[in-house]
Structures are given as structure tokens and as C-alpha cells.
Structure 1
Amino acid sequence: MIKEYDYLFKLVIIGNSGVGKSSLLLRFADDQFSESYLTTIGVDFRFRTLPIDGKNVKLQIWDTAGQERFRTITSAYYKGADGIVMVYDVTQGQSFDDIDKFWLHEVESYGEKNVQLLIIGNKNDLDEQKAVETSKAEEYCKSHNMLFMECSAKTADHVNNAFLELSRKLMAKKDASQPSKSTNTTQGVQQQSQARGQSNTNTSQSNKLSANTSNQKKQKDGGCC
């Protein structure tokens, strides 16, 4: 059976309730937006396959509830995640502060050791209401080695770009963790060469042993005066 993808990555979206996590996922996965606000109960997920640099990248994206009463449920989904997307609302300073106060500690407690992090500042279409300066968020992400993007689920601004950038980062990490085909081929040739060399050495030793045995036999048969 032919696989429909070259890469498969699990992503988890986290952040305070009401920052637009579900809206971002709906925009990215289905290119839709709803003005009505529906709270996620527990977790939800969607798939999307992207063509990136000639490869098909399949993303399994889990949308988690932001309310505290669901934390014991949602934290279990961090396990095995290749990337975690932390979302804040650019018009709500507290939602950004909580990334450092709470969400990052959640990731450190339950996430994989080398999980890739992306912070998204959602609702950047509400520029006049902006409470978190872009430069502040950029500096924070840079100091913590995280990817950063400001987006708008409503207008679709930079939503695709955010997930594309994260996917490319994950592809690079995946490729770096696996030996290249050329390396495997070289190692295979070296092993075959070593095996042939060992075989030739054994044959040579066998021939020398046979010759010595033959000489000893001739000397014995010839006798001595």
C-alpha cells in the first residue's frame, strides 16, 4: 500500500480559553471562520496534508480546551507531539502573560523533551485594540528559541504561513535525526569490502596452511638417512 504522505507530525494547540484556538484550526484545516463562539469540550482534532518542497506533509492537529477543569484530560495529549502551538489574543495581555506563567510549564511537565514550539498571536486584525506589542512577543520567543507569528483566523492572515513554518522546522529536525541514503550506501559498500577482504584473507591463510601441510608430508615421506 502506497503511503499518502512523506511526513506525519502530531501538533497540539494550547492557550487560554477564548483566544481563538478552534478558530485558527478551523481556518487552517477547512478555510472557514465562524463568528459564533463555541467552547471546546475536552479535545478536538483535524487532519490536513500540505505539499511542501516536493513532499507531502500530513498534520494531525489536536485542539485542546483552555478551561482549567479539562487540564487533566488535555495534558495527556502532549505525549508524542512533535510540535506545540501556544496561542494568545493580541488584545488580551493576560493571555500572553499566561504563556510564561502557566502554559510553558505545562509543556515542560508533559511534553516531549525536544518538542518544537510555536507561539501565535491571534486576532491581529484588531490592531486598534492591540495590548501586546509585536516586538515584545518576538523578543520573548527569540529568548526561548520558539517560532513566532501573528495571525488572524478571521481574515486568514498568516495562518497558513504559521503552520508552514512549523512544518518546515519539523521536517528539518526529522531529516537531521535520520542517516542519509548516501551514508547508508557508503556504509554498505564499506561493509561489503571488509567482508570480501576478510574472505580473501581467510582464503590466503587456508592456501598457506595447505602448502605447509603438503611440504611437511613430502618431508615425512622422503625420510632421512
Structure 2
Amino acid sequence: MAEIAPYDYQFRVILIGDPTVGKSALLRQFTDGKFVEQTEPTVGVDFSAKMMEIDEKTIKLQLWDTAGHERFRSITRSYYRSASGAIIVYDITNRQSFQSIINWLEELNNTVCANGIVCLLVGHKSDLSINREVSIEEAQSFAKEHDMEYIETSAKTADYVDEAFNKLANRIHRDLMSERIKIKDGWDGVKVGRHTIQSEEVTIMKSQTIQQPTASPDGCAC
């Protein structure tokens, strides 16, 4: 059995948005460095993972690609509550997919746990900007209004794909370090990995060694 690579933290991230906006292609480009034209819709939820480094910490991104079709919505909703981050994707050549973002946000906010969730708005298919139906300025304004960052990507050309996932992961990490996000029992949004646990054990062992009582000249511990 292959050994699982150690990590300091695991962040669970979901991708949501209307059908055909390219969520699966975006994820495949990020995890495998390949562009795959999606011909079949995602059924339920697909899972991927990728390691990355943030501030000398190894982060495991656990990535859940959710189906956009209404008939799968009851399945995908169950993943919202256990996520610390969400990438909300629309197609810049499809205005309806942009208008749907407000519904995705409402559903997300009605489902996530009290710990909250970090969201990133992604305008996808930037390689087709000649057919653009949503301006950059409009998308940026919407994102700012809803406390999100915004970025445009293309799975086909790989433009800003890594940057999108890195941007979200860094925001989650900052919120974790500032305790805006707190690790809780029974919540899978952020988990402590083996690196961190081992480091804490070493710290405790060193602390115990330093704090061992020493004998005074009269033989008493002090």
C-alpha cells in the first residue's frame, strides 16, 4: 500500500455552479495539468486532491466537484456543511450562469455550518472572451458586494487556474491563522494533518524534558 504523504492541514473545498460552466475541466487542469473537454455531466460529486505549500506549511486540498443539475442538488447540499471553501464558477459567455450565482450563494449560506465558508468567484472560459456576456467590472463589483475575490480562468489554456485555487487556499489559511476559522470536532472543513500533530508531540516532549525537576544540593526536588 502506498504511503500517504504527510501534511500540516487539510482544507475541504467544493466547486459549485450551473451545468456546463466547466467545473470539471477546471479541476482536471489544476490537479492533472490536462484539459479535458467534458462531454458527460458530473453525476453527484467527484473527488480529487492536491498538495500545495503555504507559508512553509504543507496543505492538502480535498476538492469536491459537484453536479450543477437540479436533480443532484440534494446530494451536493450535504457536502456544503463540511467545506471550508467554495469556488463558485460561471461561464463568462453565458449570462444566465452568472445570474444564477446569487442562488448558489443563498443555498450555500443557508446550508454551511456556523464556522462560515470562504468563497471565490471564478469567471471561466476566458479563452472565449470574444463572446463575453458578463464584463469584468460587473463581476468584480458583484464579488466585492458579497465579500469574495474574483478571478477569470481558462481550463483550455490553463490561464490563472493554479492562481484561483492558490488564492482560495491562502484565504482559508489566513482565516485559520487569525482564528476567523476554527477547527471543530465533527467538522471536516479543516483538519490537522500528521505534520502538525507530530510537531506538537515533539514540542510537548521537549517541554517536559526542560521542565523535569532538578535535585537541590540537599537532595530535594525543586
- Deviation of 1:48 after TM superposition, in Å, equals 0.2
| Cα distance change of structure 1 residues 157 and 30 upon mapping to structure 2, 3 Å threshold | same
- Based on CA coordinates, which of the two structures has the bigger radius of gyration? 1
Correspondence 1:172 to 2:174: yes
Q: Please list every run of 5 or more consecutive structure 2 residues that lacks an aligned counterpart in the other structure.
A: 183-199, 201-206, 212-222
The 8 Å contact of residues 15 and 88 in structure 1, kept in 2 or not, is answered as yes
Q: In the alignment, what sits opposite 2:88?
A: 86
Question: Aligned match of 2:124 in 122, 125, 135?
Answer: 122
- How many aligned positions are there? 182
Q: List per-residue Cα deviations over 1:118-170 (Å, max 9, x = no partner).
A: 11100001111000000000011111111211000111100000111111111
Q: Please list every run of 5 or more consecutive structure 1 residues that lacks an aligned counterpart in the other structure.
A: 182-187, 193-225
- Deviation of 1:35 after TM superposition, in Å, equals 2.6
The 8 Å contact of residues 80 and 111 in structure 1, kept in 2 or not, is answered as yes
Q: Which moved more, 1:125-134 or 1:110-119?
A: 110-119
* C-alpha distance in 2 between matches for 1:116 and 1:58: 16
* C-alpha distance in 2 between matches for 1:30 and 1:2: 18
- Deviation of 1:7 after TM superposition, in Å, equals 1.6
Alpha-carbon RMSD across the aligned residues, in angstroms, is: 2.2
Q: In the alignment, what sits opposite 1:33?
A: 35
* C-alpha distance in 2 between matches for 1:3 and 1:67: 34
The 8 Å contact of residues 25 and 38 in structure 2, kept in 1 or not, is answered as no
Matches within 5 A, 1:1-225: 4-100=6-102, 102-113=103-114, 114-177=116-179
Q: List per-residue Cα deviations over 1:40-76 (Å, max 9, x = no partner).
A: 0011010000122322111000000000000011100
Percent identical among aligned pairs is 42
* C-alpha distance in 2 between matches for 1:157 and 1:133: 18
* C-alpha distance in 1 between matches for 2:74 and 2:137: 33
Q: For residue 112 of structure 1, what is the amino acid of its counterpart?
A: C
| Cα distance change of structure 1 residues 81 and 56 upon mapping to structure 2, 3 Å threshold | same
Q: For residue 20 of structure 2, what is the amino acid of its counterpart?
A: G
| Cα distance change of structure 1 residues 39 and 3 upon mapping to structure 2, 3 Å threshold | closer
Write out the 4+ residue segments of structure 1 that deviate beyond 2 Å after TM superposition.
Answer: none
| Cα distance change of structure 1 residues 54 and 39 upon mapping to structure 2, 3 Å threshold | same
Q: For residue 97 of structure 1, what is the amino acid of its counterpart?
A: Q
What secondary structure sits across from 1:107 in the alignment? helix
| Cα distance change of structure 1 residues 35 and 3 upon mapping to structure 2, 3 Å threshold | closer
What secondary structure sits across from 1:62 in the alignment? strand
Structure with higher helix content = 1
Q: Which has the higher contact order (CA 8 A, sep 6+)?
A: 2
TM-score by structure 2 length? 0.77
